[in-house]
Structure 1
């Protein structure tokens, strides 16, 4: 893709340009925002590095593409993590700057941004890119800081410290190269948790030369500035440019992408390679006719579950429109909106209809942090082309999440109007639902080698784990693995056992007809973290005489938040008492043989959503007729 690079002169923006070039993208322009001339060189911005901005006047000559610049007129007016258009905010300056670039270069497709850990920066650039129909290229996103700094030091990029603002750093460090500072930064990280790449604002850098530069910067004068009584120093510099040898310019190397599998998943992949797998026998196909499932809308605890929405309209577009009309009516009846939805399960009769459905779907999810989503093709009642269920968080203050739209090495960016994960934050527990993860190679968004089943299983599981790590919830509550071919079941089962040694975590393996992008496998589920908060019981008050008992009860109740699953064989056993719980939401996952007649007349007191699949397996290697997932909310 043809891209414009957002540049501050710092190491991250320049190193990301290099990664973009190494991935085959074409740099056609650069863009920079700088402080007003009448103000301080060091602007108080949550978003932009401005110290050393004078160097950017020479970057067009150094790199050989046009530079577009604009003064920062706005401030950090909108400080929410998820950004929406806000008048007089400094992000609108970025929007206007990139609009100028796109007007001059209508062929522009993407934007390079050097964010490593800052979701604040990432979400803002992605918002602007979405409004301009551009793609964010953020290859440094979530890279290990120690490894990344090591790569920068060994790359031949000449980046030097021009500002220090952290314990252990002082004016004597100004002007030093990354290679000189690397050992000290590692030491400060061990002693004081100083970010090795300066992600906490500990220091800022300026790149004087890089292998893809045509010319390099040279200092004409410098002065140490200490603008306050804090231990913050920066360099005020003057610059000129120097020629580089023809050999240096022509010797530009490409940077390697990180290994596709991280160390943990590579180990799982290697162990899978030495395992013999027994493939389940293929059953004779039976003709199954499903009755339409009962629509339910129930408040369970502090969540609203809307289940089994479908339609009998003729065309798939009409059916999906009808489903969203029903969903809108239910939300309105509760005084809620689409912004409140935590997750959506969408089942299609034909995955070929995915694009048509997505066009309608995205009309309803227009706010930041759209719901997480799982979408598969499976058996549905005869008249239904689609079936939808949703979980809703009534209080938006309890909602958080991650919605990564930029291309990186981290994990796939979203391929539709949904978030990777939405969290429900409660006083003592946070529970998140993770969207279906398929084995896409993140930087190219193409499926991994379909002939390597082990890689497909390990890579898709790695993506699930990457989202889980990003949201910092380390406990698996419930996981469902969808696959198309039976050959994947024993591999996925063994991979899961290597990944999650605990046999207590409910996990279900289900064969379906098709998955997004014709992927062979998909992992999804929920994760959680228990965070008991004792502050409520330690207010200076005699009202808390029973606090030890109260704390013990609360800690016990935390265990009940874990999701559980019940398996059954033979539908004659399905009586809904006590298999379904009136105090929990129940997800009934069932295979296709003779299932419909046994699901009629579910009592109204139950909250139930139906997941029809082709075949169903548990974590012991046994095929099952039915699984009931109980979600208890307290």
Structure 2
């Protein structure tokens, strides 16, 4: 892609350019925002480095591309984590700047951004990129800071400290290169948790030379130390000149980090050594489902104290476009009846009769969520349906105690896949006693290129689970309540079962979540992937005033439902919070009557029934639950079952 690089003069922006070039992208311009008052070296910006701004003009010659600049007239008036268009905010200056670049370069496709940990910075660049139909390239995003700084030094990036503002750093460090201060930064990180790459604002840098500066570099001609009124903050005013490089040559490309982290690489080795499950008693062929045996999905609405579960919305319209339009109109009606909106939706399960319609559905789908800063997480699969599309969702009710957050990452990086549709990687619900995070389906995409991995099924199973792990780790909601793994061929069963069991034992290091996995076979997945992992994670929140006696005030539903759960051959119970106000249960059974009794007994909690059309019809009851039709069902050990059920039981508060 042809890209413009946002530069501040600092190490991160230039090192990200090096990575962009190494990924095969084409640099066509530089862009910079500078103080409106040129006499000011630094302004109160939450977003942009301005120290050393009078040096920026020289970088155009160093990289032999045009430079576009825009004064910062706005302020950091919108300080929310996720940005929305705000008059007189400095981000609107960024929008003007990139609009100018795009006007002069109509073939512009992407923007290089040096964000490492800052959600604030990344999300604002993404906001502007979305508005201009550009892709954010952020290859430093979520990199380990020790490894990243070491990589910068090894790749001969001549970046020198131009500002210091942290314990252990003072004016004596100004002008020193990152190579000279690296060991001290590591020591300060160990002693005081100083960010090695300066992500906490501990220091700022100015780049004098880089391997990507092919013909010219900067040399320092004069410097002056300026001390802030705060004695701990100092910066340099510098004068520089451009010098021709004697050894002009092609620079070396930077190798990307390994696709699998060391712990997941070890996991892959264990998966390769795991026993083959192909000899287990499993269904060898998927069910052929024609219209005569398909179970008809009935729309279901279950309302609990904190959530609204809307399931199985379909349409009988004659074509795909009208079906999708009717489904979203119906969803809007239901939400309005409950005084809720699309912004309250936490998660959507989207079923398609034909994955080839994915792009067409996405264009309609996006219209309902394009103005939301945090659209719902999503799982999308192809399966056998009576219509062309079916939608189910989880909606968070408005409550002072119920906060919604999450991660909607649209930048291309090495971390995990950017979203490939109008959905978030995770949406987090925070209540007084717990957090839950719905985790979007993850397929084995290569994050840096967004191409599907062509490795074997073992590798792809591990890679896609690593994506899910990284999403829940970033969300800091890490305990797994339920996970579903979709596969398109039964021969992948052995790999995903082994991947899961090794993951729980070696990385999660707990056996409590082993049985929370449901493995299912479906006809197709997005991008023709072999495997997709999605699920729900949680964290309990312990209040400092919590008393075990408080449990007596909660209706724990130790009644018919609990007794019925105990009759299932294979089950696992997870209490999301200490007070047991919210439980997630995963069940497996081959007994039709047990499943029927559970479905008939429950009227007030969410149940997802996962089974084939044939087995659903054999129940011979109206299903007041979410129905996920699949070709085959297995537990974490690869044992075949007729039915899997996921229950979410919510106790009534006094």
Is TM > 0.5 for Structure 1 vs Structure 2? yes
CA displacement at 1:228 relative to structure 2: 1.1
8 Å contact from structure 1 (residues 592, 615) kept in 2: no
Corresponding position of 2:467: 463
8 Å contact from structure 1 (residues 351, 516) kept in 2: yes
**Distance (whole Å) between structure 2 residues aligned to residue 322 and residue 53 of structure 1:** 54
**Distance (whole Å) between structure 2 residues aligned to residue 580 and residue 375 of structure 1:** 30
Corresponding position of 2:572: none
Q: SS of 1:242's equivalent? A: strand
1:408 aligns with 2:413: yes
**Distance (whole Å) between structure 1 residues aligned to residue 590 and residue 631 of structure 2:** 15
**Distance (whole Å) between structure 2 residues aligned to residue 104 and residue 422 of structure 1:** 38
8 Å contact from structure 2 (residues 303, 604) kept in 1: no
Describe the shift of the 1:81–1:102 C-alpha distance in structure 2 as closer, same or farther (beyond 3 A).
same
CA displacement at 1:628 relative to structure 2: 1.3
Describe the shift of the 1:46–1:323 C-alpha distance in structure 2 as closer, same or farther (beyond 3 A).
same
8 Å contact from structure 1 (residues 303, 393) kept in 2: yes
Q: SS of 1:574's equivalent? A: helix
1:205 aligns with 2:205: yes
Describe the shift of the 1:362–1:599 C-alpha distance in structure 2 as closer, same or farther (beyond 3 A).
farther
**Distance (whole Å) between structure 2 residues aligned to residue 307 and residue 103 of structure 1:** 46
Corresponding position of 1:223: 224
CA displacement at 1:173 relative to structure 2: 0.7
CA displacement at 1:147 relative to structure 2: 0.4
Q: SS of 1:250's equivalent? A: coil
Moved more, 297-306 or 479-488: 297-306
8 Å contact from structure 1 (residues 429, 558) kept in 2: no
1:437 aligns with 2:442: yes
Is there any run of 5+ residues in structure 1 with no aligned partner, and where? 538-546
Corresponding position of 2:236: 235
**Distance (whole Å) between structure 2 residues aligned to residue 479 and residue 223 of structure 1:** 58
8 Å contact from structure 1 (residues 377, 512) kept in 2: yes
Moved more, 198-207 or 391-400: 391-400
Corresponding position of 2:285: 283
Corresponding position of 2:627: 610
8 Å contact from structure 1 (residues 344, 374) kept in 2: yes
8 Å contact from structure 1 (residues 226, 232) kept in 2: yes
**Distance (whole Å) between structure 2 residues aligned to residue 469 and residue 52 of structure 1:** 36
Describe the shift of the 1:429–1:221 C-alpha distance in structure 2 as closer, same or farther (beyond 3 A).
same
**Distance (whole Å) between structure 1 residues aligned to residue 620 and residue 92 of structure 2:** 54
Is there any run of 5+ residues in structure 2 with no aligned partner, and where? 555-574
Deviations 1:413-441 (A, max 9, x none): 01100000100011121100010000001
Deviations 1:6-26 (A, max 9, x none): 000000000000000001111
Corresponding position of 2:258: 259
Q: SS of 1:99's equivalent? A: helix
CA displacement at 1:296 relative to structure 2: 1.6
Corresponding position of 1:315: 319
Moved more, 264-273 or 289-298: 289-298
**Distance (whole Å) between structure 1 residues aligned to residue 496 and residue 481 of structure 2:** 18
1:51 aligns with 2:51: yes
Correspondent of 1:524 among 523, 534, 537: 534
CA displacement at 1:244 relative to structure 2: 0.3
CA displacement at 1:38 relative to structure 2: 5.3
Deviations 1:557-616 (A, max 9, x none): 4445341112111434432337864442111111233422525324xxx5x211111000
Corresponding position of 2:558: none
**Distance (whole Å) between structure 1 residues aligned to residue 426 and residue 31 of structure 2:** 32
CA displacement at 1:297 relative to structure 2: 1.6
CA displacement at 1:629 relative to structure 2: 0.6
Q: SS of 2:367's equivalent? A: coil
8 Å contact from structure 1 (residues 16, 139) kept in 2: yes
CA displacement at 1:230 relative to structure 2: 3.8
**Distance (whole Å) between structure 2 residues aligned to residue 256 and residue 99 of structure 1:** 32
8 Å contact from structure 2 (residues 417, 446) kept in 1: yes
**Distance (whole Å) between structure 2 residues aligned to residue 429 and residue 39 of structure 1:** 51
**Distance (whole Å) between structure 2 residues aligned to residue 10 and residue 152 of structure 1:** 12
**TM-score normalised per structure 2:** 0.91
Moved more, 74-83 or 554-563: 554-563
Correspondent of 1:292 among 293, 296, 301: 296
**Distance (whole Å) between structure 1 residues aligned to residue 182 and residue 87 of structure 2:** 41
Correspondent of 1:601 among 619, 622, 630: 622
CA displacement at 1:394 relative to structure 2: 2.2
8 Å contact from structure 2 (residues 161, 175) kept in 1: yes
CA displacement at 1:550 relative to structure 2: 2.3
1:1-400 alignment, distance < 5 Å: 1-37=1-37, 40-213=40-213, 214-245=215-246, 247=247, 249-279=248-278, 280-283=282-285, 285-287=287-289, 289-366=293-370, 367-381=372-386, 384-395=387-398, 398-400=403-405
CA displacement at 1:412 relative to structure 2: 0.7
8 Å contact from structure 1 (residues 286, 593) kept in 2: no
**TM-score normalised per structure 1:** 0.94
**Distance (whole Å) between structure 1 residues aligned to residue 137 and residue 70 of structure 2:** 21
CA displacement at 1:340 relative to structure 2: 1.0
Q: SS of 1:211's equivalent? A: coil
1:591 aligns with 2:612: yes
CA displacement at 1:227 relative to structure 2: 1.9
**Distance (whole Å) between structure 1 residues aligned to residue 230 and residue 518 of structure 2:** 60
**Distance (whole Å) between structure 1 residues aligned to residue 459 and residue 637 of structure 2:** 22
8 Å contact from structure 1 (residues 159, 178) kept in 2: yes
**Distance (whole Å) between structure 1 residues aligned to residue 610 and residue 396 of structure 2:** 23
**Distance (whole Å) between structure 1 residues aligned to residue 285 and residue 220 of structure 2:** 75
8 Å contact from structure 1 (residues 571, 595) kept in 2: no
8 Å contact from structure 2 (residues 283, 632) kept in 1: no
Deviations 1:383-404 (A, max 9, x none): x111100101123861001011
CA RMSD of aligned residues (A): 1.8
Correspondent of 1:574 among 595, 607, 628: 595
8 Å contact from structure 2 (residues 29, 67) kept in 1: yes
Q: SS of 2:236's equivalent? A: strand
8 Å contact from structure 2 (residues 286, 631) kept in 1: no
